[in-house]
């Protein structure tokens, strides 16, 4: 049983590593000399607003006119900044040894199409150019966006827009309640399945005793028994299968809730929403923060309450009182006689599941 629990935990650790691998990683940047324009990412996927900065490594200040001193090119053709984008035109003072970001949010629509974008800047030090590539989203990513990200994002925005203080925290609480209500039916089926599993334990023992030593035959007979009794031995894993995709989508939505590019995913009746009005601080905690002391405390609390919830759900059928369905080898080790041993699954649900969710909580934004 210990080996099985270790395998479960190892598989989850691998999932965390792979998940972290596919998250955007910070790029290594070199410090420019003189006065230079830089772009944070060399490539990204539309829609995306490039993060453009001007670095002044000289001993004197520099005043930049964003319209006169910066040209924006798409596929080597200059983009004209006309009347609808007039708000982009402003003067920016860059102090000696300082860096200033150029606000491109007012011309965000320029960057909704894929292509090669270049930013050419004139300064007393000469001309500086930085470029970035905006690539199209793939079919699979478009599918996931329309099926998961866009509906959940719009639900968040709708709630934030109508809740006091545009509070992200209150929106999270509301959505959590809605999700729990939606999961009431599958949770009920899981409890019913668990009770059926306990009820057929005498038949399980009978099959194991009848075909003792023939693991293949035991497995076949048990699967037929489960089918006959309408029991799903893996039914207790359903909450995890439902919650993990939701956690991933919530990670994307909460982590980028204030991103101006979200306006491209808003439904028409929410198109006037201003992402800058979202309040991401709740009860003194920054909901977009990851790790730290707050992350550790939240991880411990989530793991404890998950353990308590599972403990209460198994109270009527304690793991310790479950029929023993192990055989002892000569070396003293215990081996399960069933490939879907309910005792193993109960122990894993009681200890492995809270540990997995607690660990993942630490690496997710506090709001998730």
pLDDT tens by residue, 28-48: 455 567 899 999 888 888 888
Residue 173 has pLDDT above 70, yes or no: yes
User: Which pLDDT belongs to residue 193?
Assistant: 72
- Annotate 30-68 with DSSP letters as a single string: PPP-SEEEEES-SEEESS----EEEEE-SSS-EEEETTT
User: Which pLDDT belongs to residue 325?
Assistant: 44
Per-residue pLDDT reduced to its tens digit, 235-288:
656 666 666 777 788 878 887 887 778 888 888 888 888 877 888 888 888 888
User: Which pLDDT belongs to residue 276?
Assistant: 76
> What confidence category does residue 342 fall into, taking pLDDT thresholds of 50, 70 and 90?
low
- Higher confidence at residue 315 or residue 69? 69
Average pLDDT over residues 340-359: 75
Q: What is the mean pLDDT of the chain?
A: 79
Helix (H) / strand (E) containing 195: helix 184-199
User: Which pLDDT belongs to residue 157?
Assistant: 92
Domains detected in the chain: 2-20+142-363 (no CATH), 35-135 (2.60.40.10)
Instruction: List Cβ<8 Å contacts ≥24 apart for 138-145.
Output: 141/45, 145/265
The answer to whether the beta carbons of residues 130 and 52 sit under 8 Å apart is: yes
Between 160-169, 174-183, 328-337, the lowest mean confidence (pLDDT) is in: 328-337
Q: What is the CA radius of gyration of the chain?
A: 28
Helix-, strand-, coil-residue percentages of the chain, each rounded to 5: 55, 20, 30
Average pLDDT over residues 344-351: 74
Residue 310 has pLDDT above 70, yes or no: yes
User: Which pLDDT belongs to residue 317?
Assistant: 52
The answer to whether the beta carbons of residues 346 and 325 sit under 8 Å apart is: no
User: Which pLDDT belongs to residue 26?
Assistant: 47
Residue 330 has pLDDT above 90, yes or no: no
> What confidence category does residue 3 fall into, taking pLDDT thresholds of 50, 70 and 90?
low
Per-residue pLDDT reduced to its tens digit, 199-235:
787 888 888 888 777 788 888 888 888 888 777 766 6
The answer to whether the beta carbons of residues 111 and 134 sit under 8 Å apart is: yes
What percentage of the chain reaches a pLDDT higher than 70? 79
Residue 331 has pLDDT above 60, yes or no: no
Per-residue pLDDT reduced to its tens digit, 57-89:
998 988 999 989 999 999 999 998 877 778 889
Q: Where are the beta strands (DSSP E) in the chain?
A: 35-39, 43-45, 52-56, 62-65, 70-74, 77-78, 91-94, 99-102, 115-123, 126-135, 281-282, 285-286, 326-328, 334-336
> What confidence category does residue 320 fall into, taking pLDDT thresholds of 50, 70 and 90?
very low
């Amino acid at each position: 049983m210990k080996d099985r629990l270790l395998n479960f935990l190892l598989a989850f650790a691998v999932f965390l590593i792979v998940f972290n691998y596919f998250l955007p990683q910070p790029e290594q940047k070199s410090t420019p000399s003189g006065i230079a324009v830089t772009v944070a990412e060399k490539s990204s996927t539309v829609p995306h607003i490039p993060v453009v900065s001007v670095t002044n490594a000289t001993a004197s200040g520099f005043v930049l006119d964003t319209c006169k001193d910066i040209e924006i090119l798409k596929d080597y053709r200059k983009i004209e900044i006309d009347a609808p984008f007039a708000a982009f035109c402003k003067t920016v003072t860059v102090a000696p040894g300082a860096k200033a970001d150029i606000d491109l949010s007012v011309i965000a629509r320029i960057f909704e199409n894929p292509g090669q974008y270049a930013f050419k800047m004139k300064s007393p030090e000469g001309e500086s150019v930085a470029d970035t590539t905006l690539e199209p989203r793939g079919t699979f990513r478009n599918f996931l966006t329309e099926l998961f990200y866009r509906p959940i994002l719009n639900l968040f925005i709708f709630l934030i827009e109508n809740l006091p203080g545009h509070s992200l925290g209150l929106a999270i609480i509301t959505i959590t309640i809605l999700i729990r209500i939606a999961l009431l039916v599958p949770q009920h089926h899981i409890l019913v399945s668990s009770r059926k599993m306990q009820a057929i334990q005498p038949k399980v023992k009978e099959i194991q005793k009848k075909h003792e030593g023939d693991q293949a035959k035991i497995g076949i007979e048990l699967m037929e028994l489960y089918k006959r009794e309408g029991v799903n031995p893996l039914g207790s894993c359903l909450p995890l299968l439902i919650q993990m995709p939701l956690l991933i989508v919530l990670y994307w939505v909460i982590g980028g809730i204030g991103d101006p590019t979200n306006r491209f995913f808003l439904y028409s009746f929410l198109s006037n929403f201003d992402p800058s009005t979202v309040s991401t601080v709740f009860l003194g905690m920054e909901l977009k923060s990851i790790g730290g002391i707050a992350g550790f405390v939240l991880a411990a609390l989530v793991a404890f309450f998950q353990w308590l919830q599972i403990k209460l759900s198994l109270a009527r059928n304690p793991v310790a009182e479950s029929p023993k369905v192990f055989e002892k080898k000569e070396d003293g080790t215990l081996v399960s006689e069933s490939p879907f041993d309910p005792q193993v699954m109960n122990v894993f649900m009681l200890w492995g599941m809270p540990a997995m969710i607690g660990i993942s909580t630490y690496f997710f934004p506090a709001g998730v």
